[in-house]
Every structure is written in C-alpha cells, then in structure tokens.
Chains A and B, each alone.
Chain A
Amino acid sequence: MLNKLYDWVDERLDITPIWRDIADHEVPEHVNPAHHFSAFVYCFGGLTFFITVIQILSGMFLTMYYVPDIENAWQSVYYLQNEVAFGEIVRGMHHWGASLVVVMIFLHTLRVFFTGSYKKPRELNWVVGVMLFGVILGLSFTGYLLPWDMKALFATKVGIEIAASVPLIGGMIKVLLAGDSTILGAQTLTRFFAIHVFFLPAALLGLLAAHFIMIRRQGISGPL
C-alpha cells in the first residue's frame, strides 16, 4: 500500500535521488559506535538536533494555550499544566528539553574541539556552530521569562542588567530587550515571546540548514 503510493509519486516526480541524497550515506567506521563504543561522542550533534525537534514540536503545542500577557501568562501556564490532559508532560518536555539541548550542544562543541574537527577546511562550520550556540542560549534566556513567575522575573532582571553592562551601547540594548528604560513588564514579555517563537527559531532553522549543508559537502572529519 505505502510502497504503491511511494511508487506513484516517484514515477511522476523522481524523488528517489533526493531521498538518497539525504538519507543514504556511509557512516565511516571511526564514528560508528557499533565498531568502537567510544564513538558515541559523535552522536551529540545528532542528539542536539533531535532534542531541538522535540523543543519545536512541544513549543508549538504549548502556544495553543499560552498567552504572552502579564495578566494571563502565569494563569495560562498554570491552566495548561494542571487542567489540560498531558499538560504536565508537554510542558515537562519543553522544560527539561531546554536544559538538555544546552548540555548536548556543549558536549557536541567539546567533541568537535577535542577531535580537532574545526580545522581547515571546516572553519566556517565551526563559526556557524558558535552562532547556533548563541541562538540556543538566546532561546533559553527568552523562554525563561515566559511563565511570568517570580523566578522568571528576577532572572530576566539580572540578565538584562548584564546586557546593560556592555560599554557604550549597554543602555540601548537594555531598552531594546525590555521595551522600556525602567520597567520590566508588559512590553518585555511580548518582546521576549516574539523573539522566542519567531525571530530566534527562524535564525535557528537557517543556521541549522547551513550547518547540515556544510557537513554534507565536507564529510565527517577523519579518524584521530
């Protein structure tokens, strides 16, 4: 049944070469944990991507209930966690996944560093990877405010003060992030929400595409 459907589409659009390009490639022995168990360190990049996919999915579902408004944000989070079926699980996936994705991207960075994989000709991919690290940290920072509880509020106060300590333009960065020079409130929450669900995910997807295209073009770096 599925095979017939696939054949029907393939006959018209010739999708097999595209599919082959994406999925059918050799995994060298030195990165295959079936050959050397220690090669599991090469999985961290893929795991980062896997958790990122979970974050995007669970985040999409959370926005069905969440409202980025100071009157209702906390209430809506409380409602979706305690009144909606599996709310605790879906929010839990996003909550724990957020920490885990930072851990995984850090381990991935360490692996790339200690195997020297960033060296010529892969410098550009390292640069894009560092940018991805920044985007993930930005997502963590902006997402942390959204439940609008005391912990979120004061963490963001501290975070914005840190950003404000940048020489010369610190004050402007602060207003740009908070939406106001003194208040951390309604405008901060809507800004952080917009950054968290639209701007940074867009940057993330673009950078991920670049990251993956480059690794496909250059291949995995050789054994140590």
Chain B
Amino acid sequence: MSNNRVSRRQFLGYTLTGVGGFMAAGMLMPMVRFAVDPVLQQKGAGDFVLTDQRVEDITEEPVRVDFTFEQTDAWYVSEVTNSAWVYKEGDKLIALSPVCKHLGCTVNWAGDPEHPTQFFCPCHAGRYEKNGQNIAGTPPLGPLDEYLVEEQDGYVAIGAVRPNTLV
C-alpha cells in the first residue's frame, strides 16, 4: 500500500469521472459506430456484366464498351452505365478503366489529335500509353486501372476493377 492518502474529495472526483466517462462512452459509442459504418462495411466482389460487344469485332484498337448493371447505393437501387476501353493483345482481351488516375475524369482513346495512339484526359491533359501506363510529365501519378474481362458466348463480359497488371 502506498502512503499517499487519497482524500475524500479526490476519491469522489475519481469515482464521478469514471462513472460519468463510462456513461458518456455508452452514449457516444453507438452513435460514433453508426456514423463510421460506411468505412467498415464489407462490399462483395462484383459479378461479371455481359455487354453487347461481340468479341470477334474487337481489334488491337481500343473501343469503348458500355456495360449496365444494377447498383445498390444504400436505400437507392438504380441502373448505372459505366464504360471500359477494350482491345485485344494477341488473343487476350484487355479492358481498361476510363477513370483518370489524376482526379477521376474520364479518358478517351486518341482524344488528343496530336497523340492518336494514347489515352487522353481532357481535364488536365493527362496522357496514357495503350496499356494504361501514365506518361511522365503529365499529371497522372499511376497507370489506368484494369477490369477483369472474359468472353461469354462470343460477347465481352466485364468484371471487377483491379490495379493495372500490364505495366
């Protein structure tokens, strides 16, 4: 036992602070957990979405392929149409995300007449190689994301997005 005597005032102070803190925490914990829920929610991996683009029509030149899926945004369910830039490398299908890695605008293939073999972002003139590699000296700091892509009954099907594996 220590020789420091705890005065009645100190004891009451500690007790009240402890009980009060416990009560305040019990009140605030549910509300804070409620607020941070979106950060902690697990999202399931996306399924493949069938497009109406025939695989045999895909060449080595990227084409824009739109795909529509049902998106559940909390209580709001809606049809959302996204797009991908799809081309063939040999027999392999490649699908790149059109979302610029600078600030999220949408890139176009050959959008800049001076660079007809590159992706171009109109917002801040970011450019990418065909495989999504960002070009040094333009704003983007990383390569375009890549979609999982597969052939289903002769048509292109687009899956989940993942970091670029080509560069």
Contact = CB atoms under 8 A, between A and B. Distances in A.
A, B: real partners: yes
Contacts of B30: 86, 89-90, 93
A86 B75 contact: no
A83 B37 CA distance: 9
B47 to A, nearest CB: 21
B31 A75 contact: no
A134 B27 CA distance: 27
Nearest to B31: A61
B33 interface: yes
A54 B75 contact: no
B33 A83 contact: no
Chain B facing A: main interface SS:
helix
Interface residues on A, range: 20 to 34
A57 B75 contact: no
Contacts of A79: 74-75
Interface string A124-156: 000000000000000000000000000000000
A86 B74 contact: no
A165 to B, nearest CB: 37
Given A54-B27, A84-B34, A90-B34, 16 more contacts: A57-B31, A61-B35, A64-B35, A65-B74, A72-B75, A75-B76, A76-B75, A80-B34, A83-B74, A84-B37, A85-B34, A85-B40, A86-B30, A86-B34, A90-B30, A93-B31
Interface of A: 54, 57-58, 61, 64-65, 72, 75-76, 78-80, 83-87, 89-90, 93
20 contacts: A54-B27, A57-B28, A57-B31, A61-B31, A61-B34, A61-B35, A64-B35, A65-B74, A72-B76, A76-B74, A79-B74, A84-B34, A85-B34, A86-B31, A86-B37, A87-B37, A89-B30, A89-B34, A90-B31, A93-B27
User: Across chains A and B, which 10 residue pairs bring their CB atoms closest together, nearest first?
Assistant: A75-B75, A86-B30, A79-B75, A89-B30, A61-B31, A86-B34, A90-B34, A84-B37, A85-B37, A86-B33
